[in-house]
């Protein structure tokens, strides 16, 4: 995640007064750090990743940045197995940065997890400029393109693609 996109995440987490954030794709904790900086001082980041080794690196990064362990909960597992166990409408913000092919299924889960007025954010909305190029039809590009079309067609949602880094698609769910 680029510093520009990360700053946008910090800003959006602060704008929705995020106390509870769910993240798909912990990675090495870069996006997690940007989210934690914008969240309420007692807010908790719940982050899911398939790879325990990635989460070990993220934990190191959170410790090094001075965030106490009660500020984050790292769950190792496949997002589509873990997300159904998270509480309905219990999250102020959901960040999605896992397997691009599964973005549509993550969106279904995120719509259940998010509280009214909350925000769902997808990283890689531009997907290396492939989404805007109709000749690109690989599964990742197609999944992101279909997601953006679905969001735009739904009049109950407000959305914007923020062209920072590899693009963020931010979706606000009715308040
Ligand atoms: C681009 S990286 C995330 C980077 C992270 N958000 C950051 O800024 O540091 C994508 C992550 O998604 C994880 N991932 C891929 N497929 C997944 C799945 N089905 N369920 C959960 N995590 C998955 C990968 O292991 C990887 O760590």
Looking at residue 69, its pLDDT comes to 98
Superfamily of domain covering 3-173: Vaccinia Virus protein VP39 (3.40.50.150)
Q: What is the pTM of this model?
A: 0.97
Helix (H, G, I), strand (E, B) or coil at 163: coil
Q: Which atom belonging to ligand 1 lies closest to the Cα atom of 79?
A: 20
Give, in order, the Cα–Cα distances in Å from 43 to each of 17, 80, 91, 97. 9, 24, 11, 20
The average pLDDT across 62-75 equals 98
Ligand 1 pocket check for 27: Cβ under 6 Å:
yes
CA–centroid distance, 50 to ligand 1, in Å, is 7
The average pLDDT across 107-114 equals 98
Question: Domain-by-domain residue ranges, the chain?
Answer: 3-173
Compute the distance between CA of residue 120 and CA of residue 107 in angstroms, rounded to an integer.
Answer: 8
The average pLDDT across 42-67 equals 98
The average pLDDT across 97-103 equals 98
Q: 139: how many CB neighbours lie within 10 A of its CB? A: 10
pLDDT of 50 > 90? The answer is yes
- To test ligand 1's pocket by mutation, which of 98, 105, 123, 166 has the most ligand atoms within 8 angstroms of CB? 98
The average pLDDT across 2-15 equals 97
Q: Nearest-CA neighbor of 149 among 125, 166, 114?
A: 125
Is residue 173 within 8 A of residue 88, CB to CB? The reply is: no
CA–centroid distance, 37 to ligand 1, in Å, is 20
pLDDT of 15 > 80? The answer is yes
Q: 64: how many CB neighbours lie within 10 A of its CB? A: 10
Q: 28: how many CB neighbours lie within 10 A of its CB? A: 17
Helix (H, G, I), strand (E, B) or coil at 91: strand
Residue of minimum CA distance from atom 2 in ligand 1: 27
The average pLDDT across 100-108 equals 98
In the structure encoding, which two tokens stand for residue 86, read together?
A: 């998270």
């Amino acid at each position: 995640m680029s510093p520009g996109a990360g700053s946008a995440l910090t800003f959006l987490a602060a704008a929705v007064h995020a106390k509870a954030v769910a993240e798909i794709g912990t990675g090495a904790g870069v996006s997690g750090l940007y989210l934690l900086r914008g969240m309420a001082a007692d807010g908790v980041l719940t982050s899911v990743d398939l790879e325990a080794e990635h989460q070990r690196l993220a934990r190191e990064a959170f410790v090094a940045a001075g965030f106490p362990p009660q500020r984050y909960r790292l769950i190792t597992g496949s997002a589509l197995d873990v997300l159904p166990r998270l509480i309905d409408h219990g999250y102020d913000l959901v960040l999605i940065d896992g397997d691009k092919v599964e973005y549509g299924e993550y969106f279904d889960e995120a719509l259940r997890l998010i509280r009214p007025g909350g925000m769902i954010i997808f990283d890689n909305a531009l997907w290396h400029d492939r989404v805007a190029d109709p000749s690109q039809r690989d599964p990742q590009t197609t999944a992101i393109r279909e997601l953006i079309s679905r969001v735009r067609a739904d009049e109950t949602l407000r959305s914007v693609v923020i062209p920072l880094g590899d693009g963020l698609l931010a979706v606000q769910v009715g308040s």
